[in-house]
Chains A and B, each alone.
Chain A
Amino acid sequence: MSKILIVEDYKDLSDFYQEFLEGDILFTASDGETAVSFYREYNPDVVLMDLKLPKKSGIDAIKEILQFDPKAKIIAITAYGSTIGSKALEAGAKEVLRKPIRFNELKDIIEKYKSY
């Protein structure tokens, strides 16, 4: 069983991910600050990180998490195109998914990063 940290400020979407990822141990955060502190506390295997977040942006959260743990596997998610997506990659995200994400794509990508 893997630990997944979901960082999403739109509650309905966060609920959807939780329903969808049943079977793994899930932690949810709705802002960048909480995301960083949850990462430090729970050391999840994979992070799903929305990029537009209150308190601390997804990009800054990615940078901080990677400073703490350079091996962190962070998948960035955005509805705002590849300009912000490129910044997430520069910050060290493994991949960027654009919303709306396809069900199987999400499943596949999480499995991929859980596997090593």
Chain B
Amino acid sequence: MISKNQDDSFKVLWDNTTYKAITYYNEGKYNEALALAKLSIDIAKKIYGRESTKVAISMNNLSLIYDAQGKFEEAEYLSIESLKIWKNQLGPDDPNIATSLNNLAGIYVSRGKYKEAESLYERSLEIKQKVFGENHVEIATSYNNLADLYRLEKKYNEAESLYNKAIEIFEKTKNNKNPDIGSSFNNLAEILKIKGQYDEALKLYKKAFEIWKTSYGPDHPDIATAINNIAGIYYLEGNYAEAEKLYKEVLKIDEKIYGQNHHYNAMTFNNIALVKEGIGQYEDAEKYFKEAIEISQNTLGKTHPSLVIYLNNVAGLYRAKERYKEAEFYFKRGLLVLEKAFGTSSPDVAMALLNLAEMYDSIGRVEEAKRFSESAKSIYKKAFKNS
């Protein structure tokens, strides 16, 4: 039997473990968060009972951690269990249920179950609209979530309209500095970029950057993302000097956050190389591509698919400069990585073989071209037959 004093100290323990689990989760320390979240479920069951809302909160937290770790089945199970408790305890229209539905929808998005996610986001929005009315930050967040989903589903017009609605509410409710409005601007910019509206996209990316800078300070991953996005537009618009300057800023921030040897840096070195190559500074481009290859190999290993991008890019540079031996060497290394990563009968391998065949053909190595082309054909005929 638990005494009153013991009962009180267990309640404090639940508060502390729950708070710490969430803190670790927010800091990305998932293993530490996981142990505490599990403990907080046990404590909640013991003190408040198996069907209490405290158990639902703890289960929901553990589900978020599993989701972040990519353990989606466990996350989904816990999220559903948590939702059942909320419904039993509070009825169908409580705001906590809206949050819970939202979290479960997020897990469905991670699992690619977009239809299920959409109906949950809509139900969550409906509850929030009943509780908070239309002009509330919670509604704006819901519009953002739905818009993100539509963007993933490539329903760009629907997504654009919802991002605009979210922004309108954030602004009306004086949440102009909320990081979430930064996300709305950033993600709306993604859509405008796809539609080729680069000037508009650039303005919005810059707004996101300003908001996130105020919220997070200058050395935060989202700031690196924002600068990277702005650089991407400058690159598309042919403003290579500005693009290069910004990619180098991204590199500085990422090196501060993750250190020099991180695969994010490989992608940034690759982007700088593309700029250098675009303006004809081939030696520099070659150097940066090779830096990207080196970092990618060191951090993700020699058979990680990301490596293929950098190998092929440097090969493309050599091909353009008619340095065919080097081009062949790097294209073939890319091919090997693809074979190791996806198997010898993958359509990507067929594409890589055809690319080599085309190069051989263009330089008169007709027999090799035929051989590589035949290998490619036999792969994709099988692949498409089986699909």
| Chain A residue nearest to B334 in the complex (CB) | A100
Cβ B351 vs Cβ A103 within 8 A = yes
Whether A102 contacts B351 by the Cβ 8 Å rule is yes
Let me know if B358 and A82 touch, CB within 8 A: no
Task: Report the bound CA distance from A85 to B271 in whole Å.
Answer: 13
A103-B355 contact in complex given A79-B319, A81-B320, A86-B238, C-beta closer than 8 Å:
no
Instruction: Find out whether the CB atom of A83 lies under 8 angstroms from the CB atom of B278.
Output: yes
- Tell me if A20 is interfacial: C-beta within 8 Å of chain B: yes
**Of B156, B240, B316, B355, which is within 8 A of A81 by CB?**
B316
B384 x A115 contact (CB < 8 A): no
Least Cβ–Cβ distance between B307 and chain A, in angstroms: 12
* Contact stretch, chosen from A10-18, A28-36, A39-47: A10-18
Given A83-B320, A98-B313: A103 touches B278 (CB 8 Å cut-off): no
A71 → chain B closest CB, angstroms? 9
Instruction: Indicate whether A80 reaches chain B with its CB closer than 8 angstroms.
Output: yes
Query: What is the CA–CA distance of A100 and B308 in the complex, to the nearest angstrom?
Result: 10
In the complex, what residues of B have CB within 8 A of residue A83's CB? 277-278, 280, 320
A82 adjacent to B277 (CB under 8 Å): yes
In the complex, what residue of chain A is closest to B374 when comparing beta carbons?
A12
Interface residue? A55 (CB, 8 A): no
With contacts A94-B196, A102-B351 known, is A19 near B156, CB below 8 A?
no
CA–CA, A116 to B197, complex, Å? Answer: 13
Question: Which B330-375 residues sit within 8 Å CB-CB of chain A?
Answer: 331, 334, 346-348, 350-352, 354-355, 357-359, 361, 373
B343 CB, min distance to chain A CBs, angstroms: 13
Q: Which of B296-327 contact A (CB under 8 A)?
A: 308, 312-313, 316-317, 319-320
A81 surroundings in chain B (CB, below 8 A): 277, 313, 316-317, 319-320
Bound CA span A100–B319, Å: 12
Contact B236–A98 (Cβ < 8 Å) = no
- Contact at A98–B312, with CB atoms within 8 Å? yes
Q: How far is the CA of A84 from the CA of B195 in the complex (A)?
A: 22
Chain A contributes a number of interface residues (CB within 8 A of B) equal to 31
Q: Which 8 A-B pairs have the closest CB atoms?
A: A100-B355, A86-B278, A115-B154, A80-B320, A103-B347, A81-B320, A81-B316, A82-B277
User: Which single residue of chain B is at the shortest CB-CB distance from A9?
Assistant: B358
Indicate if B137 sits at the interface (CB-CB under 8 A).
no
A contacts with B: majority SS: helix
B binding-site residues for A, Cβ under 8 Å: 154-157, 194-196, 236, 238, 240, 274-275, 277-280, 285, 308, 312-313, 316-317, 319-320, 331, 334, 346-348, 350-352, 354-355, 357-359, 361, 373, 376-377, 380-381, 384
B348 and A10 contacting across the interface, CB-CB below 8 Å: no
Contact of B350 among A16, A79, A82 (CB under 8 A): A16
User: Which B residues lie within 8 Å of A25 (CB)?
Assistant: none
Chain A CB within 10 Å — which of B278, B377, B381 has the most?
A: B278
Cβ–Cβ < 8 Å partners of A12 in chain B:
354, 357-358, 373, 376-377
Chain B residues, CB < 8 A from A79: 316, 319, 355, 358-359
Output the nearest chain A residue to B289 by Cβ-Cβ distance. A81
**Given A82-B278, A83-B280, A115-B154, is A10 in contact with B380 using a C-beta cutoff of 8 Å?**
no
Contacts of A116 in B (CB 8 A): 156-157, 194-195
Closest partner residue, chain B, to A103 (CB atom): B347
Query: A82 CA to B277 CA in the complex, in Å?
Result: 6
Are B380 and A112 in contact, with the CB atoms below 8 A? no
Q: Which residue of B lies closest to A89 (CB)?
A: B236
Would you give 7 A-B contacts (Cβ < 8 Å), ordered by A? A12-B358, A12-B373, A16-B350, A80-B320, A82-B275, A83-B280, A100-B312
